[in-house]
Amino acid sequence: MRLQSHYRAGRWMQALYHLEALAAREGWTSDRLRLAGDIWRQMGDPALAAAYWEAAANPGLARRLAEVYLDLQRWSDAAAALETLLQTAPNDVWGHYHLGLLRAAFDPTAAADHLRRAGAAPVAADLLAALTTAAPDDAPMAAGLTLAENDLWPYAELAFQHAANLQPPYPEALAYAGLSRDQQGKDGSKLIRQAAAAAPSSPVVRYLQGLHLRRVGDLAGSLEALQVAAALAPLNPAYAAEVGEAYRLLDDLGNAQIWLERAVTLAGADPRFRRLLDDFYASLPGN
């Protein structure tokens, strides 16, 4: 059959043409809808793939739907698909892991149960520890911070937004949500501005504002925000190091060195800041 031949060869448009012609003659079946969804996913259109899989009304497609919904950040749909998956495959580690990530900020108790059943994944263990040690009101923020530390930025954004909604205006949560958007290539500017307006004297907010402004190319504004953060929290080595980096990006190497050396002093035995300073020395002209 030409449809199957084209599909096996990866000739997606030809396969789709023959599939649609077959459906026009004989009607759409669940299997044909599933196959159409598979083809559209292969062609890089997950939203259209999901539409066909939804129409197929096949519980066996729950895993594929969950994957697409997660990619599209259709969180409610993803959670529903994951629940369906776990009804048919209650020991599915992937399903428990991702449902744990989604539920972390909203239902820490349920999330913890899913994460325990997700096995030994390091992120699952870290997130489980954060949820079980945080006070209930602090759980959304604790979840967001853990997800951010593990570069799970879409889930982190979801958690930080929920934390901000629970305790408005919660400027630190807003700022972290903005950073999470930045890290995904979205625009975190609005959230960063809201956070800075609500808490201009928060070192965390000004620090995250500095990182955001650097990302969008406002190096002078970034330096100013980071200087404020460092003045508000003068013992924080990370803030001092970022001030040093801000000066370096502006080609003010003298001040960059001063601030990176300050970061090393503040950090004590933490080798990360020593490496930053060593890398800076190695980058100086003549080295």
Domain spans of the chain? 1-73, 91-199, 206-287
pLDDT over 90 at 1, yes or no: no
| C-alpha triplet 277, 283, 287: angle, nearest 5° | 110
Per-residue confidence (pLDDT) for residue 114, from 0 to 100? 97
Average pLDDT over residues 209-222: 98
Q: In this structure, what token pair is assigned to residue 162?
A: 């929920």
Cα–Cα distance, 63 to 78 (Å, whole number): 9
Per-residue confidence (pLDDT) for residue 122, from 0 to 100? 82
Among residues 10, 32, 8, which one has the least CA distance to residue 19? 32
Number of C-alpha atoms within 13 angstroms, CB side, residue 149? Answer: 12
Confidence of residue 206 (pLDDT cuts 50, 70, 90): very high
Cα–Cα distance, 118 to 59 (Å, whole number): 21
Burial code (b: 16+ CB inside 10 Å, e: under 16) for 65-79 equals bbbbbbeeebeebbb
Question: Are 131 and 112 contacting, i.e. CB atoms less than 8 angstroms apart?
Answer: yes
Fold of 206-287: 1.25.40
pTM for the predicted model, two decimal places: 0.93
Cα–Cα distance, 267 to 259 (Å, whole number): 12
Q: Is 225 exposed, middle or buried (0-12, 13-18, 19+ CB in 10 A)?
A: buried
Percent of the chain whose predicted confidence (pLDDT) is above 90: 96
Which architecture does CATH list for 91-199? Answer: Alpha Horseshoe (1.25)
Per-residue confidence (pLDDT) for residue 133, from 0 to 100? 96
Same fold across 91-199 and 206-287: yes
Among residues 126, 130, 70, 123, which one has the least CA distance to residue 105? 130
Cα–Cα distance, 51 to 112 (Å, whole number): 31
Give the DSSP H or E segment for 19: helix 12-26
Cα–Cα distance, 238 to 266 (Å, whole number): 9
Mean pLDDT of the chain: 96
| CATH 2.40.128 assigned to 1-73 | no
Q: In this structure, what token pair is assigned to residue 256?
A: 């960059």
pLDDT over 90 at 287, yes or no: no
Residue type, 122: P
